[in-house]
Structure 1
């Protein structure tokens, strides 16, 4: 299909985004005929564009000839807007403070950004020997307890990362599966010598983690801290609405 320009707008790009927008208007899924007719495109052209968007991971079909729906990849193109992020941080801040006070360790909140996570808020331990976690720090989702619990919570994100880096995925697949089964992820002195961590997802895009010296954080204690995080989240969880 030939791509034409109108001014500075490439026609094929414009059409692809219009199809995405039309699919987004129907969360339960939209058929080829619906999005093609709505966009004023012949079905062959629409099908080719949709096939490209599906190959890129932005839309999916449950079965051949079925309806199209968006994947979570669209949401991962950008961080939360400033207002939504601030609202989440404000609600979660008491959780960080309470969990840090109860555990005595550094506690932090992080958000998904692409295939990384970004620390956006933290409460530091007041003990002389502790893990210093600073807002603005960014790390890969793979290889970290916090990343593993987020991957377990978002199957679209997991599929995207698995496709982009299959070797690394294979290395950590067991830990991610375990995080999905347990509802929390553990790092027992495996990523950084002398440091262990527990992480719990708030949403598929946000998670809380507690980390500190392994000498103070054996597995049994990490599990109890994970339970404490969930208790504190339940106490501030919005009623009948989403976190974000």
Structure 2
């Protein structure tokens, strides 16, 4: 059963979120027996909850009789993600004010990342990423920062499913090179997109510790300005911003 029940909470609501969390943790699909075992609930109770969730579109039953997350959650997730970006805007703007380059925030969206917040640089030549844009994970700073926090099996599942396109000659084109890079990211605590998305563009990125969903922030710009000396200044500021955002999200529940 999922831990962390709130005192005085509505039991049926908590049970619904238990089931959704179990399906998510199982890779997006769970059998009825798995739900019963992990939720520690009677089968009639699970049936009743699923019969409520399926017509609403929050859960769907697959042909093999197992249960998966439904499309109704996409709308809620997209809205929550955009609100998350708005909430983070002052911190992103603070990075721009101190470093002079564009700052972004992205969250894990299935097997890709989606950008949910941005503060733009005042330079005429700057990086611009549209909020709501989805991107591969293996060739973006935010994507690699998040991948470095995931189990290797999940990383392999993502790149196998989505492929590893190489927008530039510096992009990771093999699983081996990506896994080696992720090991470096874990050791140093931040990711670098070194012209892997676009030649002439460099990005430094870091995950938010203990975020409610895998989330990363970044600063990026032309390599003529965003060099390795820039990175030495940016990394401590990114770390501070990530910790402040995590604290804000935690205090907001």
Deviation per residue, 1:31-70 (Å, 9 max, x gap): xxx999x98xxxxxxxxxxxx9xxxxx9xxxxxxxxxxxx
Deviation of 1:218 (Å)? 1.0
Q: Does the CA-based 8 Å contact 1:195-1:211 persist in structure 2?
A: yes
- Aligned-partner Cα distance in 1 for 2:132–2:79: 17
Q: Which TM-score applies when normalising by structure 1?
A: 0.64
Deviation of 1:88 (Å)? 2.6
**Aligned residue number for residue 183 of structure 2:** 177
Q: Does the CA-based 8 Å contact 2:140-2:196 persist in structure 1?
A: no
Give the RMSD, CA atoms, in angstroms.
3.6
Identify if the C-alpha distance between structure 1 residues 228 and 104 changes in structure 2 by more than 3 Å, giving closer, same or farther.
Answer: same
Runs of 4+ in structure 1 displaced over 3 angstroms?
77-80, 162-168, 239-244
Deviation of 1:87 (Å)? 4.9
Deviates more, 1:185-194 or 1:108-117: 185-194
Structure index of larger Rg: 1
Q: Does the CA-based 8 Å contact 2:102-2:219 persist in structure 1?
A: yes
91, 102, 107: which one aligns with 2:87: 91
Q: Does the CA-based 8 Å contact 1:184-1:226 persist in structure 2?
A: yes
Identify if the C-alpha distance between structure 1 residues 212 and 234 changes in structure 2 by more than 3 Å, giving closer, same or farther.
Answer: same
146, 150, 156: which one aligns with 2:146: 150
Deviation of 1:110 (Å)? 0.9
Q: Does the CA-based 8 Å contact 2:101-2:121 persist in structure 1?
A: yes
Deviation of 1:242 (Å)? 8.0
**SS state at 2:217 partner:** strand
Q: Which TM-score applies when normalising by structure 2?
A: 0.62
- Aligned-partner Cα distance in 2 for 1:115–1:240: 23
How many residues align? The count is: 192
Deviation per residue, 1:61-118 (Å, 9 max, x gap): xxxxxxxxxxxx99xx958635643553243221111011111111111111222111
Identify if the C-alpha distance between structure 1 residues 90 and 177 changes in structure 2 by more than 3 Å, giving closer, same or farther.
Answer: same
**Aligned residue number for residue 237 of structure 2:** 228
For the pair 1:188 / 2:194, whether they are aligned, the reply is yes
**Aligned residue number for residue 111 of structure 1:** 107
Identify if the C-alpha distance between structure 1 residues 194 and 23 changes in structure 2 by more than 3 Å, giving closer, same or farther.
Answer: farther
